[in-house]
Amino acid sequence: MSGWQNYIEEHRERYVRELSDFLRIPSISSLSEHADDVKRAGEWVAERLRKAGMEAVEVMPTGGHPVVCGQWLHAPGKPTVLIYGHFDVQPADPLELWTTPPFEPEIRDERIYARGASDNKGNMLTPIIAVEALLQTDGTLPLNVKFLFEGQEEIGSPQLADFLKNNRELFACDLILNADSGQWSEDQPSLLTSLRGLCGLQVDVTGADSDLHSGMYGGAVQNPIHALIQILNSMRGSDGRILIEGFYEKVRMLSDAEKAQLDSIPFDKSEFMNGIGVTELFGEAGFSDLERIWTRPTLELNGIWGGFQGEGLKTVLPNKAHAKITCRLVADQDPEHIYSLIETHIRQNTPAGVKVDMTPVESNANPYLMPADLPGSLAAIEVLSELYGKKPILVREGGSVPILSLLLEHLGTYATCFGFGMNDEKFHAPDEFFRLKNFELGQRAYCKILHRLGHQK
Amino acid sequence: MSGWQNYIEEHRERYVRELSDFLRIPSISSLSEHADDVKRAGEWVAERLRKAGMEAVEVMPTGGHPVVCGQWLHAPGKPTVLIYGHFDVQPADPLELWTTPPFEPEIRDERIYARGASDNKGNMLTPIIAVEALLQTDGTLPLNVKFLFEGQEEIGSPQLADFLKNNRELFACDLILNADSGQWSEDQPSLLTSLRGLCGLQVDVTGADSDLHSGMYGGAVQNPIHALIQILNSMRGSDGRILIEGFYEKVRMLSDAEKAQLDSIPFDKSEFMNGIGVTELFGEAGFSDLERIWTRPTLELNGIWGGFQGEGLKTVLPNKAHAKITCRLVADQDPEHIYSLIETHIRQNTPAGVKVDMTPVESNANPYLMPADLPGSLAAIEVLSELYGKKPILVREGGSVPILSLLLEHLGTYATCFGFGMNDEKFHAPDEFFRLKNFELGQRAYCKILHRLGHQK
């Protein structure tokens, strides 16, 4: 057994105690009354990095919640890895649904319950512990390490783009490990290989100057709600296929091998349906459920409103109707190009008697498809195979993780997701927890992957 | 000149003073803090009826705002006419848009400005003055007269159905005149011959148990907004025609004479469009604008909502979507039958992956088509022709007036609309006014029509 392995086991209780201390700080980034707590959590992280042996540790201002950085760069000729995580958490309400208070961590059945336990305090602590264990036992690290922990992930990292742009050199690296992620199940490791991108818009349809009486005007004047649904309905066939011209043109089709790989994933359809309370799934014909969620673009109506929404009856012919639309995009779709296709489609399908305004959403995201030969990912596959005794399955994500795109855009580096959360751990919900078994597994995994990356080069 | 004509001219100033007193009572039926004012207005009306010589005058309880009745039944062998009006008014806000305060009547340019001046206090006062003038000069009335004034018209007369059902005998009559109406223009009289009916429903579409993340589920799960717009869009063609099977089956087509009559109406299309701020009209192909508003049924979306309606972006796949639908109906469509056709259509057009609930609105209304030979209407045509020097045009209304249906249902009698408001008099808006010229014209018109009806029999 390696020295670091002994070290980790010996200090197990201390690590859990430290995690508990960290979890007691209610670092809710979305509530301004907790801004000081977010800062306090950042200072806790900075202190912990120093204690682990990191240098140049700083709590850096961003204009919003701070970023904490630290580094150890004494491995000349070796690659530099940047490790990412976040110390802010989601709000804890509804409080009454928590078994124990969200910021008073409690261990039950080898799980630690608290807001942020899994997302992301428990996970982000594991690489810090790993470098401490390596430095304490080996006296050195196998490669150069930088840390970047932020305090605004749960509110969409609004200041992070500018911050990264202004600190490119500080965070320059050869590869990135993202601790804000997880594994498929307790006995099945996984590696994330792609995420979908995003573009979207709000559509505003206007008819008359003001709402009209449906008796006095109904039949003579275009109804903006009717016009809107006609436009929206023209965008998608009843078979779920998007009918906007050119929408699928740049979509990269899966190879037979990729298809086979997806089909081999132990996706439990009835569990998926039970989890959300539906009795059948629906989507573009000719693709499996996982293909549709992970590898096909969508056009989703996120919201719609117009006219009377109260109780009972109001015989109004409204003068406005609105909808929010977002598309999930896949490689090699371009958000701006897709937006322009939607815009053209709407112009061409606007019926007589109304005018239409369109406003793009600000937070476009490119689809994120990782190169298959990413060194961090190859190392992750080996480490996970060793720890779990089986190869990780290659998974994708239907959502977008803005930080990965930001890191790629500003640092020019893809990130390998290397975290040990699990989907059942109720992040963003009451009774969030983290498996202590995975807390320790993560520490060992980080020791192993740092060693492997140090010796790869 | 008849005696009553002199009498009206001599007492002109008193009548305007009385109208001003009546208008000073803020009898807003929709605001509970004005309930006493509504009652006070009822008492004012009762007192005025007694002063006019009416008997058995009473302020009758209804469970809500009261009804005022009065009668004069000393013309044995003559028909009995029931005259209807209302003494409640709309709210006056926004107050800052009034030139003078809404409950401090002011005369400018021979118009009296106040909330309720035209709708309906000025108009309902004219028949009271008429019977007073006839009794004071002739010493008798040419027929039996009953009055029914209500205090809840502006809130949809919620207690009136039960009230009429319980007082059928008290209000039994041969014909009805409705003072809550108006004329086409200052020099063009008009007579209302039909109104559209109404039926409607709320549609609720439900997908998953709760809102879903559009990244994690988008592409695999039916979106209730998509399902809803697909359902709604299937109900109407892009040419404005309703596509619900059987929807038009019972619609009575206009005769050539009726069509010609409609075409002869001086409908100013550009004034109509300017008034509401649209640059083109829209509706079922093959029918004129007036035909569509007055003689064709509609299916209108009064409201729609679901998912995220806030600022910016929320990538939610909502679990619910809702719409409010009402149909305007024409003879001989039946509200319940049309509802059942809509229900069937929705069931047949509900896409996979969602469930749909439908709730009918409570206030159905039958289409109201007056018999061409209604004695009250024939008399009205003659009186209007005489007063204006030209025949009234026959007009229709696209809306529904519930009280007319209630009177027909419970008393078995159609009403002739006989009022002297004008569409530009801003009822329900700031600076409502009534033309004093029409206040007097109405008084003379009621004297004449009562005489004519008394001598017809």
Residues A104 and A221 grouped into a single domain: no
A361–B215 C-beta distance less than 8 A: no
Q: Given B337, B360, B383, which residue is the final one in a domain? A: B360
CA-based nearest residue in chain A for residue B232:
A229
Residues B156 and B302 grouped into a single domain: no
A233–B233 C-beta distance less than 8 A: yes
Residues A208 and A68 grouped into a single domain: no
CA-based nearest residue in chain A for residue B321:
A304
Is residue B76 one of the residues assigned to a domain? yes
B293–A315 C-beta distance less than 8 A: no
A306–B225 C-beta distance less than 8 A: no
Residues A319 and A427 grouped into a single domain: no
Is residue B399 one of the residues assigned to a domain? yes
| Full pLDDT tens readout for chain B, 457 residues | 579 999 999 999 999 999 999 999 999 999 999 999 999 999 999 999 999 999 999 999 999 999 999 999 999 999 999 999 999 999 998 899 999 999 999 999 999 999 999 999 999 999 999 999 999 999 999 999 999 999 999 888 989 999 999 999 999 999 999 999 999 999 999 999 999 999 999 999 999 998 998 888 999 999 999 999 999 999 999 999 999 999 999 999 999 999 999 999 999 999 999 999 999 999 999 999 999 999 999 999 999 999 999 888 888 899 999 999 999 999 999 999 999 999 999 999 999 999 999 999 887 889 999 998 999 999 999 999 999 999 999 999 998 888 898 999 999 999 999 999 998 998 888 999 999 999 999 999 999 999 999 986 4
pLDDT of residue B43: 98
A200: distance to nearest CA of chain B, Å?
8
Residues B101 and B217 grouped into a single domain: no
B226–A278 C-beta distance less than 8 A: no
Closest CA to A29 of A40, A21, A38: A38
* Nearest-CB residue to A305 (from B284, B309, B314): B309
Residues A433 and A381 grouped into a single domain: yes
Residues B104 and B177 grouped into a single domain: yes
B226–A280 C-beta distance less than 8 A: no
B94: distance to nearest CA of chain A, Å?
16
Handedness of CA A420, A425, A431, A437 (dihedral sign): negative
Provide CB contacts within 8 A for B233, sequence distance 6+: A229, A230, A233
**Tokens 């059902």, located at residue:** B165
CA-based nearest residue in chain A for residue B280:
A353
* Nearest-CB residue to B232 (from A218, A229, A280): A229
Sort out which chain B residues have CB atoms less than 8 A from A362's CB and list them. 312-313
* Nearest-CB residue to B292 (from A215, A220, A283): A220
For the record, the structure tokens of B351 come out as 């896409």
- Could you tell me the residue range of the domain that residue A329 belongs to? 197-259+295-360
A229–B229 C-beta distance less than 8 A: yes
Is residue B285 one of the residues assigned to a domain? no
What is the count of residue pairs from A and B with beta carbons less than 8 Å apart?
254
Sort out which chain A residues have CB atoms less than 8 A from B397's CB and list them. 215-216
B428: distance to nearest CA of chain A, Å?
12
Q: Measured in Å, how far apart are chain B's first and last C-alpha atoms?
A: 24
CATH of the domain at A128: 3.40.630.10
Residue pair A170/A35 in contact by the 8 Å Cβ criterion: no
Is residue A285 one of the residues assigned to a domain? no
Residues B113 and B184 grouped into a single domain: yes
Burial A47-57 (b: 16+ CB within 10 A, else e): ebbeebbbeeb
Is residue B46 one of the residues assigned to a domain? yes
Residues B441 and B330 grouped into a single domain: no
Give whole-number Cα distances, B219 to A287, B94, B316, in Å: 10, 47, 12
* DSSP state for residue A119 in the 8-state scheme: I
Q: What is the pTM of this model?
A: 0.86
CATH of the domain at A219: 3.30.70.360
Sort out which chain A residues have CB atoms less than 8 A from B318's CB and list them. 301-303
* Nearest-CB residue to B307 (from A301, A316, A321): A301
How much is the ipTM here?
A: 0.87
A87: distance to nearest CA of chain B, Å?
23
Residue pair B186/B387 in contact by the 8 Å Cβ criterion: no
Cα–Cα distance, B215 to A241 (Å, whole number): 17
Residues A22 and A122 grouped into a single domain: yes
Cα–Cα distance, A60 to A46 (Å, whole number): 10
pLDDT of residue A456: 65
For the record, the structure tokens of B248 come out as 């038009």
* Nearest-CB residue to A221 (from B276, B313, B316): B276
Is residue B256 one of the residues assigned to a domain? no
How many domains in chain A? 2
pLDDT of residue A457: 43
Mean pLDDT by 10 residues, chain A (457 residues): 90 98 97 96 98 98 97 97 97 91 97 97 98 97 98 91 96 97 96 94 95 90 97 95 98 94 93 93 94 96 95 89 97 96 98 96 88 94 97 93 90 97 90 97 98 83
B238–A293 C-beta distance less than 8 A: no
Residue pair A427/B216 in contact by the 8 Å Cβ criterion: no
B362 burial class (0-12, 13-18, 19+ CB within 10 angstroms)?
Answer: exposed
Q: Given B360, B377, B403, which residue is the final one in a domain? A: B360
Is residue B401 one of the residues assigned to a domain? yes
Is residue A201 one of the residues assigned to a domain? yes
B294: distance to nearest CA of chain A, Å?
8
* Nearest-CB residue to A220 (from B223, B230, B293): B293
Residues B444 and B386 grouped into a single domain: yes
Q: Given B360, B395, B412, which residue is the final one in a domain? A: B360
A75: distance to nearest CA of chain B, Å?
40
Give whole-number Cα distances, A134 to A15, A280, B170, B280, in Å: 15, 50, 100, 76
For the record, the structure tokens of B28 come out as 């807003």
Residue pair B388/B187 in contact by the 8 Å Cβ criterion: yes
Residue pair A325/A229 in contact by the 8 Å Cβ criterion: no
Residues B105 and B227 grouped into a single domain: no
A16: distance to nearest CA of chain B, Å?
31
